[in-house]
């Protein structure tokens, strides 16, 4: 028998509250030529019963008697995937019906692309709260964003299986040493093989809740993401790579407020340096990233920071509004002091 066009990998542990709808979003895809592989990493709730009740020949379940961890579960599933393309989904997220078809068609028509994601809608208690990412980004711009944070949601990504096999070392496609930023580490290693892309269409829904790994393990993710980024920065920043990577993750990825003018100028310079080193048509996006940093600082109550940095400012209306908002917040702080 010929292999399916796409393998869909879902890893889960104690996902009974959400996995039913997540799997249903795959089984209802407009493109039916796929296999659905679920790795149950030692669930102790009703997950096994939910999986056993699904009557669909495209579903295969690999059950671990005990938890092996995120990266190990993903690696176990990837080793069993048979299709040339591999899509992934977390057990609490949703794929829109056209997702698999759109991504597989893109990879068919772009042989130099090793990974394609989709635009994402973040749902918090059923409400769309936006993704916080630029709406339309070409591959060169996405490469820049991957060097300034993580613009890809794991549940939105489809890979070429041969690219995954090419970056595997010692049986690990996702490195456990990079967990819980193992996905971010994988994206960086794949960029050495080809282009990464993201479809403009929203085809993935990320369901926000307090037990999401991105929230429950936020500190660990930040630390390992900085470790990944420092390795990418090493040829450009040398001994300062770790410090620059930590700065970027803290203030661009995690969006922590910039504390002072010196830190702001350093961050603006780092964005410019990364854009210059990567090359390509990314200067407009880099300028937008610089303004987003300056804008957040100004609106956070530091309107004076715009002085001497007008070249990084946005349009006149947004700049004036930001200065006004920052001035009001600064005045409120003085009144409360």
Task: Say whether 63 sits in a helix, a strand or coil.
Answer: strand
Q: How far apart are CA 232 and CA 225, in angstroms?
A: 11
What's the whole-number mean pLDDT along residues 144-164? 97
Query: Considering its fold, how many domains does the chain have in total?
Result: 2
What's the whole-number mean pLDDT along residues 3-10? 97
Share of the chain above pLDDT 90, in %: 87
> Within this chain, do residues 121 and 226 fall inside the same structural domain, yes or no?
no
What's the whole-number mean pLDDT along residues 234-243? 98
The predicted-structure confidence for 159-217, as pLDDT tens digits, reads as follows 999 999 999 998 899 999 999 999 999 999 999 999 999 999 999 999 876 555 555 67
**Residue 133 maps to a domain:** yes
> Within this chain, do residues 158 and 258 fall inside the same structural domain, yes or no?
no
**Residue 299 maps to a domain:** yes
Task: Say whether 127 sits in a helix, a strand or coil.
Answer: strand
The alpha carbon of residue 27 and the mean position of all alpha carbons in its chain are separated, in whole angstroms, by 24
> Within this chain, do residues 35 and 138 fall inside the same structural domain, yes or no?
yes
Q: How far apart are CA 100 and CA 96, in angstroms?
A: 9
Contact 151, 145 (CB under 8 A): yes
- pLDDT band at residue 127, thresholds of 50, 70 and 90? confident
The predicted-structure confidence for 74-112, as pLDDT tens digits, reads as follows 999 999 999 999 999 999 999 999 999 999 999 999 999
**Residue 311 maps to a domain:** yes
> Within this chain, do residues 208 and 307 fall inside the same structural domain, yes or no?
no
Given 154, 186, 216, which residue is the final one in a domain? 216
| HSE value, Cβ hemisphere, 13 Å, CA-based, for 169 | 7
Q: Which residues contact 260 (CB under 8 A, 6 or more apart)?
A: none
Q: How far apart are CA 243 and CA 241, in angstroms?
A: 6
Given 216, 245, 263, which residue is the final one in a domain? 216
> Within this chain, do residues 56 and 184 fall inside the same structural domain, yes or no?
yes
**Residue 1 maps to a domain:** no
Closest among 252, 92, 258, 77 to 172, alpha carbons compared: 77
> Within this chain, do residues 255 and 132 fall inside the same structural domain, yes or no?
no
**Residue 170 maps to a domain:** yes
**Residue 17 maps to a domain:** yes
Q: State the pLDDT at residue 125.
A: 67
The predicted-structure confidence for 261-298, as pLDDT tens digits, reads as follows 999 999 999 999 999 999 999 999 999 999 999 999 99
Q: State the pLDDT at residue 214.
A: 57
The predicted-structure confidence for 42-74, as pLDDT tens digits, reads as follows 999 999 999 999 999 999 999 998 989 999 999
Q: State the pLDDT at residue 123.
A: 84
Q: Which residues contact 157 (CB under 8 A, 6 or more apart)?
A: 87, 88, 115, 116, 117, 183
Q: How far apart are CA 141 and CA 128, in angstroms?
A: 25
> Within this chain, do residues 65 and 173 fall inside the same structural domain, yes or no?
yes
Q: State the pLDDT at residue 195.
A: 97
Identify the domain containing residue 284 by its residue range.
218-336
**Residue 235 maps to a domain:** yes
> Within this chain, do residues 253 and 312 fall inside the same structural domain, yes or no?
yes
Q: State the pLDDT at residue 215.
A: 56
Q: Give whole-number Cα distances, 38 to 8, 42, 195, in Å.
A: 8, 12, 28
> Within this chain, do residues 34 and 131 fall inside the same structural domain, yes or no?
yes
- pLDDT band at residue 225, thresholds of 50, 70 and 90? very high
- pLDDT band at residue 129, thresholds of 50, 70 and 90? low
Share of the chain above pLDDT 70, in %: 96
| Residue whose structure tokens are 């996006």 | 285
| Residue whose structure tokens are 């794949």 | 190
The domain spanning residue 118 has which CATH number? 3.90.550.10
> Within this chain, do residues 231 and 251 fall inside the same structural domain, yes or no?
yes
State how beta strands 34-41 and 113-124 pair: unpaired
> Within this chain, do residues 265 and 289 fall inside the same structural domain, yes or no?
yes
Q: State the pLDDT at residue 124.
A: 80
**Residue 313 maps to a domain:** yes
pLDDT averaged over every residue in the chain: 94
> Within this chain, do residues 47 and 174 fall inside the same structural domain, yes or no?
yes
Q: How far apart are CA 175 and CA 169, in angstroms?
A: 8
Q: Would you state the structure tokens that stand for residue 294, as one six-digit string?
A: 């300056």
Closest among 80, 96, 87, 141 to 280, alpha carbons compared: 141
Given 216, 250, 276, which residue is the final one in a domain? 216
- pLDDT band at residue 319, thresholds of 50, 70 and 90? very high
Backbone phi and psi for residue 159, each to the nearest 5 degrees, phi listed first: -115, 160
């Amino acid at each position: 028998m010929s292999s399916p066009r796409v393998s869909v990998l879902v890893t889960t542990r104690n996902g009974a509250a959400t996995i039913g709808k997540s799997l249903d979003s795959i089984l209802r895809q407009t493109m039916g030529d796929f296999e659905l592989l679920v790795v149950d990493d030692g669930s102790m709730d009703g997950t096994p019963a939910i999986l056993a009740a699904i009557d669909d020949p495209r579903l295969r379940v690999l059950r671990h008697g005990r938890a092996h961890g995120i990266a190990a579960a993903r690696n176990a599933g990837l080793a069993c995937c048979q299709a040339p393309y591999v899509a992934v989904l977390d057990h609490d997220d949703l794929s829109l019906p056209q997702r698999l078809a759109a991504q597989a068609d893109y990879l068919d028509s772009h042989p130099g692309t090793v990974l394609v994601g989709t635009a994402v809608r973040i749902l918090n208690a059923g409400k769309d709260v936006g993704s916080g990412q630029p709406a339309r980004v070409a591959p060169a711009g996405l490469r820049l964003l991957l060097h300034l944070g993580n613009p890809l949601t794991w549940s939105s990504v489809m890979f070429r299986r041969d690219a995954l096999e090419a970056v595997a070392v010692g049986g690990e496609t996702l490195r456990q040493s990079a967990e819980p930023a193992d996905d971010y580490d994988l994206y960086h290693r794949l960029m050495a093989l080809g282009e990464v892309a993201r479809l403009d269409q929203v085809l993935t829904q990320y369901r926000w809740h307090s037990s999401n790994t991105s929230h429950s393990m936020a500190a660990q993710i930040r630390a390992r993401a900085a470790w990944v980024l420092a390795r990418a920065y090493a040829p450009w920043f040398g001994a300062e790579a770790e410090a620059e990577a930590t700065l970027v993750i803290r203030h661009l990825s995690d969006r922590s407020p910039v504390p002072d003018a010196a830190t702001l100028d350093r961050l603006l310079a780092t964005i410019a340096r990364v854009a210059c080193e990567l090359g390509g048509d990314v200067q407009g996006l880099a300028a937008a990233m610089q303004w987003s940093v300056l804008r957040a600082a100004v609106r956070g109550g530091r309107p004076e920071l715009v002085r001497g940095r007008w070249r990084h400012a946005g349009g006149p209306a947004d700049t004036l509004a930001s200065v006004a908002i920052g001035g009001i917040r600064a005045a409120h702080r003085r009144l409360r002091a």
